[in-house]
Amino acid sequence: MNDYNFVLFIVDIIMPKIDGLELILKIKQRQPLAVIIVTTGYSSIEGAVRAVHAGAFQYLAKPLNANELVSAVSKGLEFHNFLYGPLSETFEPVKEIDEMRGVLLFKDLTEESKKNIYSLSKKMSFGKADPLNAKLGKGFFVISEGELSVWYNNTSIEYLTKGDSWGEEEILGENSIFTNLRAETDIELLFFELDKILIILEENNELELFKSNITKSIYYKWIKSAQRIAMLKLVNTNNIIKI
């Protein structure tokens, strides 16, 4: 999944290294439009409901009937092509989003300002189970290594990887929507304390330029989040009738 996008997955529930439902959530975080067929020898109504909530397209009990499995795969591919084919084109990520990312925050600042800003940044590392929200403080960060997801209520609104930033809207004085950050892997990031950054920008008369960069960054983020939420909603609401 680091190198390719797949249209359809067949996932078992009981596996030696990772639970099937946990794997489904990871797949949906990276590829919201993927069709997932769940197979298990421990069939139950509760298991089916949990699979649907996790984003499964169909739930098959073992022992598998070959014809039923082939039929489920065929229906899954048809479902993807009928609904998600045009949808994926409609919600194709804007090319500029991937090109801009965290670098956009410092676009057109003087080299001196960039050097001073980075010199004040704090390198931070987190394990997968660490609560990021409680440890970051007031400021923003850019991911150096690793991946994390951003959650609002029970919806994953963003998936951040190397080069992505988060939290910079605080500089605009906006009231940030409460979100939870979940590390999907071990994380390394550069944290920029808000007060220190503002001093440097004001001294070099670049605060307004930086605010403009932030506005663009937030705009691109909300495009991505809106796309993600729309796709996840369609995935979750349309799959219920398939069970």
For 9-52, the pLDDT digits (tens) are: 999 888 888 888 888 888 877 777 788 888 877 655 555 556 66
What's the CATH code of the domain at 181? 2.60.120.10
Residue 100 counted as domain residue: yes
pLDDT score at 106: 84
Q: How far is 81 from 78, CA to CA, in rounded Å?
A: 5
- Looking at the structure of the chain, the number of domains it has is 2
Are 71 and 119 in the same domain? Answer: no
Residue 234 counted as domain residue: no
Domain with 44, as residue range(s), is 8-90
Are 62 and 116 in the same domain? Answer: no
Beta strands in the chain (DSSP E): 8-12, 35-40, 58-61, 122-126, 139-145, 148-152, 155-160, 165-166, 180-183, 187-193
Residue 2 counted as domain residue: no
Q: Which of 55, 90, 125 is the last residue before a domain boundary?
A: 90
Q: Which of 60, 90, 120 is the last residue before a domain boundary?
A: 90
Q: Which residues, other chains included, contact 139 with Cβ-Cβ below 8 Å and sequence gap of 6+?
A: 167, 170, 191, 192, 193, 194, 197
Residue 143 counted as domain residue: yes
Residue 119 counted as domain residue: yes
Q: Which of 25, 55, 90 is the last residue before a domain boundary?
A: 90
Residue 232 pLDDT more than 70? no
Are 169 and 208 in the same domain? Answer: yes
Are 28 and 72 in the same domain? Answer: yes
Which two tokens mark 16? Answer: 């030696």
Residue 124 counted as domain residue: yes
Are 72 and 124 in the same domain? Answer: no
What are φ and ψ of residue 174, in 5° steps?
-80, 150
Are 208 and 143 in the same domain? Answer: yes
Residue 3 counted as domain residue: no
What b-and-e string marks burial along 62-99, b requiring 16 or more CB atoms within 10 Å of the CB? eeeeeeeeeebbeebeebbeeebeebbeebeeeeebee
Are 62 and 165 in the same domain? Answer: no
| Section 168-191 average pLDDT | 76
Band (pLDDT 50/70/90 cuts) for residue 8 is very high
Residue 166 counted as domain residue: yes
Residue 231 pLDDT more than 90? no
Are 72 and 109 in the same domain? Answer: no
Band (pLDDT 50/70/90 cuts) for residue 85 is low
| Section 73-98 average pLDDT | 64
